[in-house]
Structure 1
Amino acid sequence: MKKQLVYFTFNILKRNNIKSLLLSSVFFLSFIGFGQHNKIIKTYLSNNLEKFNLTPADATEWKITNEVYSKQTNVTHVYIQQTFKGIPVYNAVSNFTLKDNKVIFARNSFVKNLASKINTVSPVLQPKTAITQVASALHLGTPIGLELIEEKGNSAYVFSKSGISQEKIPVELVYQPLKDGSVKLSWLLNIYQLDGIHWWNVRIDAIKGVILDKNDWGVSCNFDIATGTHYHESKLVKQPIQSPVIAIKKNVNFYEGAQYNVFGLPVESPNHGSRSLISASHNTLASPFGWHDTDGVIGPEHTITRGNNVYAQLDDDNDNDTQGYAPDGGNELVFNYLLDMNNKPADSYKDVSITNLFYLNNVMHDIWYQYGFDEVSGNFQSNNYGREAPLTFPPTDGDEVIADAQDAGGKNNANFATPPDGFTPRMQMYLWDDAIMDITTGTLAGKYPITDSNFTIDGTSDTARSGAPLNENPVTADLVLMNDDTPTPINGCSESGAPIADLEGKIVVISRGECSFVSKIKLAQDNGAVGVIVVNNTGGTIRMGGATENITIPAVSITQELGNFIISALSNSETINVFLAAIDLDGSFDNGIIAHEYGHGISNRLIGGGANANCMNNQEQLGEGWSDYFGMAITMNPDDTETRVRGVGTFASGQAITGNGIRRYPYTTDMAVNPFTFKEVKDQALPDGEVSVHGVGSIWATMLWDLHWKMINIYGFDPDMYNGTGGNNKTMALVIEGLKLTPCSSGFIGARDAILAADELLYNGANQCAIWEVFARRGLGYSADSGDTDSFTDQTIAFDMPPENVLSTFSCNNALSVEGDVLELFKIYPNPASTSINISLTNEVKNATTAIYDINGRQVYAQKSDLKGTVTINTENLSTGIYILKINNEVINYSQKIIIN
């Protein structure tokens, strides 16, 4: 295409000789800004040593790593890194928010009494040796031709890729704080594994050469499949719902002819609605030159699915190249391809898959740009078009998302690797198994969803898959019940080795329990079975996992309900013939999962500033929760209600839209359906004792979703995700600004307080009471405590609101006042109400006074009695308006705002 000049100031400057003079001036002015902010923060720290429990020495050595100006709030977020003798202390990043040259918000993450905890200032281990020892410890192979490429002073180096990394390997000295309170000199190095799954950020002892700690920039959302904690709530039929495509307000587009046939928002997946041909999709503020530009001149550099924000490509050979196949829309940029997923291989619809992945990545970029994930905040762009932060020099662009569709590096998974600002992130979207059992004979004839197994060589998600995946091993045979020589013969746990009759050539039905999945399936296989169906012993199905290299027949699980019907029919001598098969579901069609993965990039870049991508390594970190929220927020429909259940990944995991998806509970404000509170954090342990980051994150996302609906109830819903003013838009803004205020290594309390602070910056604190009510309802009240944020078992739950002096400047007529776990006793519905309102109780409340007050404090209803079960109050005589419902006795003081329509 022929290009035309656009006379934006920054483009004119880029085209003549004053560019270097301008940048030099900006660079000089940036040092003035740094110096000014240095002085302000230094003074603030010295005046608040007692508040932060620091010594004068602790507050003396530090450097500014990021300064982020927020257009939404007109404040500057400054992130400072603690150092000792010029060497940074790992993750000791404190954040300060400045307005009118004053600190208005601050959170400290410095190590206290640092000097007394340092073990040494001189390394023994050489940086080159550190790389070879880390490569050996992580089983990455032996580095080949390891060479020093660049030396950055006396303590920072860059080495060659050496056959173990996709990127050059940076190494620098840092101090690593440890759980025992000591701080050890370490080499920090980054190795991006060749498979693209892990991007290791490792700290190795600079004296002894042992790994002290490591984290992974590549957040792999394997949803705990290998541990057997991923449950499906199977439905006998899927009920696709047609969702309207909401028109989004935009300015005049440069590329009005560009067209993309995609699952356009708010459609979440093929189960939620149909594709539509969308034109002029880019937002001119976030993507001023369209989605296919990289140089800032009208006219795209690329006619394939590549541009300034994302390069979406095929990676079906798992080579992680950046020159993979990508569909070409031609000079008119028309990406309109036929889609037929009916028993077709994924390769047949790769153009549709890549196009949808390209679309959703760009939409995520453009939507969240409006709320503050922009250039100065470390967003993902190849070219910042001159809008990068003046205090980060040289410009930190060149980091568009590399998005791999139909990635062959795994199954039933997705991941996102987020390096610091200026380095290219990578999203990998995999295929998911969709297994079907077709019963061809008998009274149960029909098709039923099932769950395939996921065995691996050593039982972890990091190793090659073993067993007999159903997509490669479909099987047809008659069913037979397992019948070994044990007291519970259907469990298939015999260890005698004696032959079991009647299994030859059959698909064997076995009940879950008593012994491992591997042993059950191996027993059936050794006796001639051609397949195994395991009947679950609880709700839903389970993706069976474990370590094995010896299983060669397919094995699936079914629900307890369906299994009981099959067992009954077989016990009555009915012949049941089944066909077990699987096709692939494409994760790139699940907009919720794509948004979730992109969300990891947002949270990692915003917390602690774009220069630090390591702020969420602690056990109480909330990254998975923010990501779930991002996906749900952009896929809302105008007719949604707060009690509607929202699963995550229901399409990819083969569920109906009413399923839980890949989470324990679906998201809803109804606590009878999603009962999560802060106290459940301590229960989020995996079988190996490690924390389930998905479990912890799901609790946080539950609270954010409650807040989302609280704000919608106040301000209404606006379908315009870019320029809307509804409660949903306000919550999206609170979340983004809150991430900028969240301290490094934060838990629930730090994140809660950051959202409260964001409300003061964005809306002058207008929503303080509403925010407190939401968090208090889920146990994250004023007296709650995270304890050690690197532990997930020491939280203190509280349902209380702040005292009056804290909320004295806000109108909290409907503020809750509760003690203990009172909020868990009550469910008030419907709210808003019309003719009646119900109070549902989990336990009996003796001698309680139930009263309703109008907005002026006048009592309009009162009743004293014992409360149990469900109590109904007639509200026909109440006028339309806002009321306060109060329930009191000797130990309970509960109040809740209700609305009468």
Structure 2
Amino acid sequence: MVAFNKFFNTVLLAVLYASSASALTVPIDSKHATHRVREIANGAKIETYHPESTYETFNTGIDHPLRKRGASLKEASESFISSHLKVAPSSVAHQSGFAGQVASHSFAKQVINGIPVANAVANVAFNSDDLVVALGSSFVKPSKVAPNTPSVSLQDAKATAESALDATFLDEVEPTVEYFIKEDKSAVLVHAFQVRNEEKGLWYNAFVDAQTNTLVSVTDYVARATYRVLPIQKETLLEGFEDVADPQDTISSPRGWHSTGTTNTTNTAGNNAISYKSSQSTGTAAETSPGVYSYIQDPAQAPTVTANVKAAVVNNFYLVNSIHDIAYRYGFTEAAFNFQNDNFGKGGRGNDRVTSSIQDRAGTNNADFATPPDGQSGHMRMFIFTVTTPNRDGALENDVPIHEVAHGITNRMTGGGTGACLQTTEGGGMGEGWGDALADWAEKNSSSVPDYVMGQYLLNDPRGIRTRPYSTSKEVNPLTYGSLGQLAEVHDIGEVWANLLHNVYAALVGEHGWSAEARTNPDGTEGNVVFLHLFLDALPLQPCNPTFLTGRDAWLQADVNRYNGTHRCLLWKAFASRGLGVNAANRRDNEDIPSDC
């Protein structure tokens, strides 16, 4: 989700989770890493809880008990988790996994009395030598355990969740019975199922106590041919539309962008995405001539006139597909839980292309992206921005749709395709930061690393929608890891993470140069290529609900996995320059780097 900064208080009222946290004068407590307050129906709030994760990385790797036996990923990961955490083998259950470009990843749940625990998870990564290189875990020793048989019916639990969340039970997703760890470490038995209100943009996995029929917690899935488009390296339509011929990457999209997997289309619908206004069946944009999608956008007219609507639909379709193809090259593939209807037998679950609702009527001055588990479509909603006259379309500022697609990528790759592992305040903030960082990367067109501003076109303001530009200058942007001590809102936290990554990018490009071919060729050694590899590689390495510290450590381990640690000192120096040094902890800055750097 995008949100406005403190310069636009009149607009803030229209934006979910208004950004006002910068006025706090007392440090935020440790709940950043374990809790998040969610606003639900009728102004009510629920504070969700996720057990704190431990995280270890093992550089070039350590052995595991079944290595010499040629065990499967499932067997090896369950055995290692059991032995390393000193828990019974019966308390570990592999849930999903995939073999990535340089590491294999397994994602598991804790099991109690034969029943999986919804919010106690673990992830293990193995390098190409089948050695363990990372382990994240939020397994707990429960203080007490509820009986393993529900006394509340599923029907009654549905009614409770539907009423509390203003959403309707999704029949197509099988409900489950699981344990859920509460803040006092007690394990309560819950009915777990999805509810959704598409009109209001609400989509949750609800956990209802199966003994007391009370809502315990939620997973919120919403993070809030030739085409005439804004090329992906451009930020706003003020830089000019172009006719872009055959932009699809047939390595990433082997049947192109206009195939559903079984049939070819002549509109903005295909295997990776469908973009439309109001209706998927009637609201797409059709060819203007065979193989051509060219609508002339007129910025002097309202965004709702037909030509402007179609131009926005086409631009969104181009962007979602472009990011699909770029991310695919760097590891966000079918097996890694990406968004495609047809996965071509390459792993993962299909039937989940991105659905993009353009000029969605449910809101204004924002955008959001819902990321349910692998096998269910990610859903993007782009809104009209009402700050200017005429109004402006969020789908026509490229950094906004790219930011939203990044939510889908980071939510899918963190935690094994569940869409449930960026749910804490700090983890959610990192999700916002990754969105800005990916837009920042995509819009670079040279080795220059100027200050980067998000959302300036939509507000017709050079300051954009964030509190300050992303910059290597501490005078322009003084945010550091220690700034988290005064921030409580996810977009504010995201600015800190995005600025950190902006500085990492600048260091890599400054040292190793820049490749103009990075969008289609991930094999180079240039800094922008390295950056995006580490960006994607770190996501499945980090634990569920990461923190800045574990996110940093995942980047460092990703560099060992892919580049034998070549960029270790450069990365440490870049992170430390913004307070995330060796001895950083508890949202206090530290600029120390390893002694050998």
TM-score by length of 1: 0.56
Report the CA distance between 1:210 and its aligned residue: 1.3
**Paired residues for 1:392-471 under 5 Å:** 396-435=349-388
Which ranges of 4 or more aligned residues in structure 1 deviate by more than 4 Å? none
Matched, 1:353 2:312: yes
Structure 1 residue matching 2:401: 3-state secondary structure: helix
Report the CA distance between 1:680 and its aligned residue: 0.9
1:370·1:722 contact (CA, 8 Å) conserved in 2?
Answer: yes
Q: 1:214 aligns with which of 213, 218, 225?
A: 218
Structure 1 residue matching 2:335: 3-state secondary structure: helix
Matched, 1:624 2:432: yes
Report the CA distance between 1:796 and its aligned residue: 3.6
Report the CA distance between 1:93 and its aligned residue: 2.1
Q: Which amino acid aligns with 1:617?
A: Q
Q: Which residue is 2:545 aligned to? A: 745
Q: Which residue is 1:117 aligned to? A: 144
Report the CA distance between 1:36 and its aligned residue: 2.8
Separation of aligned partners in 2, 1:139 and 1:405: 23
Matched, 1:302 2:265: yes
Report the CA distance between 1:41 and its aligned residue: 2.9
2:78·2:94 contact (CA, 8 Å) conserved in 1?
Answer: no
Structure 2 residue matching 1:207: 3-state secondary structure: coil
Report the CA distance between 1:388 and its aligned residue: 2.0
Structure 1 residue matching 2:123: 3-state secondary structure: strand
Structure 1 residue matching 2:391: 3-state secondary structure: strand
2:274·2:355 contact (CA, 8 Å) conserved in 1?
Answer: yes
The 1:179/1:324 distance shift into structure 2, 3 A limit, reads farther
Report the CA distance between 1:588 and its aligned residue: 0.7
Report the CA distance between 1:387 and its aligned residue: 1.9
Q: Which runs of 5+ in 1 are unaligned?
A: 1-32, 50-54, 141-163, 221-257, 316-320, 390-395, 436-581, 686-691, 786-793, 805-811, 813-901
Report the CA distance between 1:803 and its aligned residue: 4.1
Q: Which residue is 1:131 aligned to? A: 158
Structure 2 residue matching 1:291: 3-state secondary structure: coil
Report the CA distance between 1:60 and its aligned residue: 3.7
Instruction: State how many pairs are aligned.
Output: 523
Report the CA distance between 1:764 and its aligned residue: 0.7
Deviations along 1:430-482, one digit per CA (max 9) or x if unpaired, are 100133xxxxxxxxxxxxxxxxxxxxxxxxxxxxxxxxxxxxxxxxxxxxxxx
Q: 1:383 aligns with which of 332, 342, 348?
A: 342
The 1:345/1:425 distance shift into structure 2, 3 A limit, reads closer
Q: Which residue is 1:669 aligned to? A: 472
The 1:327/1:681 distance shift into structure 2, 3 A limit, reads same
1:303·1:330 contact (CA, 8 Å) conserved in 2?
Answer: no
Q: Which residue is 2:453 aligned to? A: 647
Q: 1:285 aligns with which of 251, 267, 272?
A: 251
Separation of aligned partners in 2, 1:414 and 1:637: 25
Q: Which residue is 2:326 aligned to? A: 367
Q: Which residue is 2:110 aligned to? A: 82
Q: Which residue is 1:603 aligned to? A: 410
**Paired residues for 1:126-525 under 5 Å:** 126-140=153-167, 164=168, 168=172, 170-195=174-199, 197-220=201-224, 258-271=225-238, 273-295=239-261, 301-315=264-278, 321-329=279-287, 332-348=290-306, 349-389=308-348, 396-435=349-388
Separation of aligned partners in 1, 2:588 and 2:75: 38
Q: Which residue is 2:482 aligned to? A: 679
Report the CA distance between 1:35 and its aligned residue: 5.7
Report the CA distance between 1:169 and its aligned residue: 5.2
Q: Which amino acid aligns with 2:406?
A: G
Q: Which amino acid aligns with 1:682?
A: G
Percent of aligned pairs with the same amino acid: 30
Structure 2 residue matching 1:92: 3-state secondary structure: strand
1:92·1:744 contact (CA, 8 Å) conserved in 2?
Answer: no
Q: Which residue is 1:772 aligned to? A: 572
Q: Which amino acid aligns with 2:482?
A: K
Report the CA distance between 1:284 and its aligned residue: 1.1
Q: Which residue is 1:707 aligned to? A: 504
Separation of aligned partners in 2, 1:270 and 1:639: 23
Report the CA distance between 1:120 and its aligned residue: 2.5
Q: Which amino acid aligns with 2:305?
A: D
Separation of aligned partners in 2, 1:385 and 1:35: 26
1:310·1:402 contact (CA, 8 Å) conserved in 2?
Answer: yes
Matched, 1:65 2:95: yes
Q: Which residue is 1:56 aligned to? A: 87
1:313·1:354 contact (CA, 8 Å) conserved in 2?
Answer: yes
Structure 2 residue matching 1:709: 3-state secondary structure: helix
Separation of aligned partners in 2, 1:280 and 1:708: 29
1:40·1:101 contact (CA, 8 Å) conserved in 2?
Answer: no
The 1:382/1:196 distance shift into structure 2, 3 A limit, reads farther
Report the CA distance between 1:110 and its aligned residue: 3.5
Structure 1 residue matching 2:183: 3-state secondary structure: coil
Q: 1:37 aligns with which of 40, 52, 73?
A: 73
Deviations along 1:115-163, one digit per CA (max 9) or x if unpaired, are x4323222211111111011111234xxxxxxxxxxxxxxxxxxxxxxx
The 1:41/1:290 distance shift into structure 2, 3 A limit, reads closer
Larger RCO (CA under 8 A, 6+ residues apart): 2
Separation of aligned partners in 1, 2:95 and 2:319: 31
Deviations along 1:587-631, one digit per CA (max 9) or x if unpaired, are 110110000000000001000111x11001112111101111111
Larger radius of gyration: 1
Q: Which residue is 1:234 aligned to? A: none
Report the CA distance between 1:186 and its aligned residue: 1.2
Report the CA distance between 1:46 and its aligned residue: 4.7
Structure 2 residue matching 1:714: 3-state secondary structure: helix
Report the CA distance between 1:639 and its aligned residue: 6.0
2:303·2:393 contact (CA, 8 Å) conserved in 1?
Answer: no
Separation of aligned partners in 2, 1:82 and 1:176: 10
Q: Which residue is 1:843 aligned to? A: none
2:319·2:402 contact (CA, 8 Å) conserved in 1?
Answer: yes
Q: Which amino acid aligns with 1:359?
A: Y
Q: Which residue is 2:444 aligned to? A: 636
1:303·1:331 contact (CA, 8 Å) conserved in 2?
Answer: no
Report the CA distance between 1:37 and its aligned residue: 3.0
Structure 2 residue matching 1:620: 3-state secondary structure: helix
Separation of aligned partners in 2, 1:345 and 1:596: 21
Report the CA distance between 1:56 and its aligned residue: 2.9
TM-score by length of 2: 0.84
Q: CA RMSD in A?
A: 2.0
Separation of aligned partners in 2, 1:43 and 1:134: 37
Separation of aligned partners in 2, 1:637 and 1:100: 34
Separation of aligned partners in 1, 2:159 and 2:151: 15
Report the CA distance between 1:48 and its aligned residue: 2.5
Separation of aligned partners in 2, 1:292 and 1:34: 41
2:414·2:539 contact (CA, 8 Å) conserved in 1?
Answer: yes
2:230·2:236 contact (CA, 8 Å) conserved in 1?
Answer: yes
Separation of aligned partners in 2, 1:773 and 1:60: 43
Report the CA distance between 1:82 and its aligned residue: 1.3
